[in-house]
Structure 1
Amino acid sequence: MFQGSFVALVTPMLASGEVDYESLEKLVAFHIENNTHGIVAVGTTGESATLPFDEHINVISKIVEYVAGKVPVIAGSGANATDEAVFLTKEIAKLGVDGFLSVVPYYNKPQQKGLIAHFNAVADASELPLILYNVPSRTVLDMQTSTVVELAKHKNIVGIKDATGDLTRLAELQANLPKDFLLFSGDDATGCEFMNSGGDGVISVTANIMPNSMSKMCEFALAGDSKASKASDEPLESLHQTLFIAPNPVMPKWALYKMGLIKTPNLRLPMVLPELNEQAAIEHELNVLGLIEK
C-alpha cells in the first residue's frame, strides 16, 4: 500500500488565515489526476506546528473525504508531547486514514530511550500502521539506527521517513532492519538516489509542484530501471534545491499560487511570504519547467 511518491501536501490558507478548503479539494484532485501514489496530510509541509488540534483533525478529515479512497492517506500525528501525539493518533484513526507519520519530538530533545517510549506509546494508540519521521534539521535530534531497530519490533511500526539526506544512513538502516520495513526518503535532492539504492518511496515536497514526474521517477526505480529514474529526476534537480531556499513550505506555497492551484500563498505566522529574490528564483524554475509564463 505504501510505495512510490507520496506528496507532503501543503495546507492552503486564505488571507484571513483560515484554511482554504476549496483550494485543498482542488489540490487533492490535481494529485489524483497526476498519478501521485499517496498523500501525507498535515505533516511539516502542511504546517502541522501551527494548526490547533480541531483544525488539524478537520483538515485530515476533509482530505480523506476528497480522496475518496483513490490513493492512501497518511496522516501526520506527531507532537513533542507524547500525550498530545497519542490523542491526535486516536482521534485521527476515526477518520478513515490509512496510516500515520509521526515526527521525532522537537525542542525538548529527549534521550533515545525517550524516543523508544514515545513512539511505542503512539503506536499503541491505533492498530493502523505508523511510519517514523526523522528530520534532525527541524527537531535538533537525530533518531539513531539502533533506536529504529528497537522500534521496528512493534507490530504497528512499519517504516521510517528519513530526511537526513545521508545515503550512508540508508545503507545502515537496510543492513539492520527487516526486509519488509519501509524506507522513505524525506529529502527530494537525494530522493532519486535513495530510490535507486533500494528505497520504497519518497515523501516529497517537490511532488506538490511536479507530481507526475516524481511518480514516474519512483516507478522506474521500483522497476529496477535506474537510468530512466535518473532521467525523470534530472529536470527537477534545480527545483529540488530552489524549493528549500526558504523554510518549507514557504516556497511550494508561492509556486502553487503562481501556478493558479491555490488562491493565496499565505502561511501561518511565524512563517511569512518569500523575499522578492526568492519569489524570482522559484518563478524562474516554474518558467523553465513550462508551468508558468513570464
Structure 2
Amino acid sequence: MTNPMRGVFAVPTTPFAEDGAQNLEALSRRIDEVVAAGVTGVLGLGATGEALALSPAEREAQIKTLVSAVDGRAHIVIGCMAYTPAEMSAQISRAAGWGADAVMVTPPFYGGLEPDAVIAALHPVLAAAEVPAMVYNNPHSTGTDLLPDHLAALADTGGLWSIKETSGAATRIRELRETLGQDIEIFVGADGIALEGFAQGASGWVAASAWLLPEHCQRLWALADSGDWAGAVELWTKLGSALGLIEGSSAFVSLIKQALGRRGHEQGPVRAPLPTADTESLTALLDAIAALEEER
C-alpha cells in the first residue's frame, strides 16, 4: 500500500481535570497549537495517552474531540490496542466511523506470544480494517519482538500502512526498509534515536516529545528529510538532551504532563497505576528545554 502519510506524528497525553474527568477543552487547545507547528499528524490513544486507563465512553469522546480539533489540518491515527483480535477490529471500526484516518495496533499484550502467533492474530485484523493500519513493534511492553520477516507476512493484507519501530535495535530501521521496500512506511518510535532512524531511511517519527516540543521535533524532521544533515545534527545535539530525559524516564507521561503544565498548558495528573515524575527529573527537563530555547 502506498500512502502519503509520513513525517512527524505527535502523540497527545490525556489531560485530566481536578475531578478526574478528561479535560477535553485542554486537549483541544493543545491540539491546535501542535498542529499549527506543522506536524503531519496526531496519534491519539497510545500509551502516552493512557489509553488503557480510559473507559469506552472516554475513548469515544476523545476521538471525536481530536477529529473536531484537528479539523482536517493533519492526519489522525488512533491506537486500537486490545488483547483479542475481535476487540481490536471493533475498536478499529468505531475509530474509522468517528473520523480517524488510520489506526495503530500492537501485538496482544500479556500473552507471551511467539511472533508467528502474533502475526496470525493481526493478519485478519489488518485484512478487515476499514482504514490503513500501523503495527507498533514494542517488545518492551508486549513481550514480542516482530522482526522484518515477521512483519512482511502482513503485507498481503492490503491494510498495512506502516510500522512504528521501538525495539531499540541499532540497525532495525534499515533492515525494515530493506525487507519491506518503499510501499510500507517505517516510523521511528523511540524519541532518543530519532536522528539515527532518519539516517536509516525512516518515513518519519511518532513522537511523544512532539506533544511537548512540536516546533523542534518538526524542524528536526524537516532538516533530515530535505537532506540538510549538518543542520539536523546541529539541532539534534541541542534537542537530544531533553528527549533523552523523556525517553529514559519510567514516568515519562507524567514528566511530559508536568512540563507542559509549567509552561502554561495544564494537563493534570496521570491515572493510577502510572508513576508521577519526581521534582528532580522535572527540573532537569525544564532546564534542558530552557537551554534549547536560549540557543535558537
**TM-score normalised by length of structure 1:** 0.93
Please state if 1:64 is matched with 2:89: no
- Taking the aligned partners of 1:146 and 1:248, their CA distance within structure 2 comes to 31
Does the 8 Å CA contact 1:220/1:226 hold for their aligned counterparts?
A: yes
1:36 to 36, 39, 42: 39
SS at match of 1:237: helix
Does the 8 Å CA contact 1:25/1:66 hold for their aligned counterparts?
A: yes
* 1:192 Cα offset (Å): 1.0
Does the 8 Å CA contact 1:246/1:278 hold for their aligned counterparts?
A: no
Map of 1:216 onto structure 2: 219
- Taking the aligned partners of 2:232 and 2:238, their CA distance within structure 1 comes to 11
Map of 2:127 onto structure 1: 124
Q: How does 1:249-268 map to 2 (within 5 A)?
A: 249-264=253-268, 266-268=269-271
SS at match of 1:260: coil
**Structure 2 runs not aligned, ≥5 long:** none
Map of 1:156 onto structure 2: 159
1:86 to 70, 76, 89: 89
Instruction: Please tell me the residue identity of whatever aligns with 1:248.
Output: F
Does the 8 Å CA contact 2:252/2:277 hold for their aligned counterparts?
A: no
Q: How does 1:1-294 map to 2 (within 5 A)?
A: 1-244=4-247, 245-264=249-268, 266-290=269-293
Q: What is the root-mean-square deviation of aligned Cα atoms in Å?
A: 1.6
SS at match of 1:184: strand
Does the 8 Å CA contact 2:11/2:208 hold for their aligned counterparts?
A: yes
* 1:259 Cα offset (Å): 0.9
Instruction: Please tell me the residue identity of whatever aligns with 1:256.
Output: L
SS at match of 2:186: strand
Q: Deviations over 1:91-148 (max 9, x none)?
A: 1110111101112221112222221122222213323110100111111221122210
SS at match of 2:153: helix
- Taking the aligned partners of 1:219 and 1:287, their CA distance within structure 2 comes to 22
**Structure 1 runs not aligned, ≥5 long:** none
* 1:263 Cα offset (Å): 4.8
% identical equivalent positions: 24
- Taking the aligned partners of 1:287 and 1:216, their CA distance within structure 2 comes to 17
- Taking the aligned partners of 2:252 and 2:80, their CA distance within structure 1 comes to 18
- Once the two structures are overlaid, the 10-residue window that deviates more, 51-60 or 65-74, is 51-60
**TM-score normalised by length of structure 2:** 0.93
- Taking the aligned partners of 1:158 and 1:70, their CA distance within structure 2 comes to 20
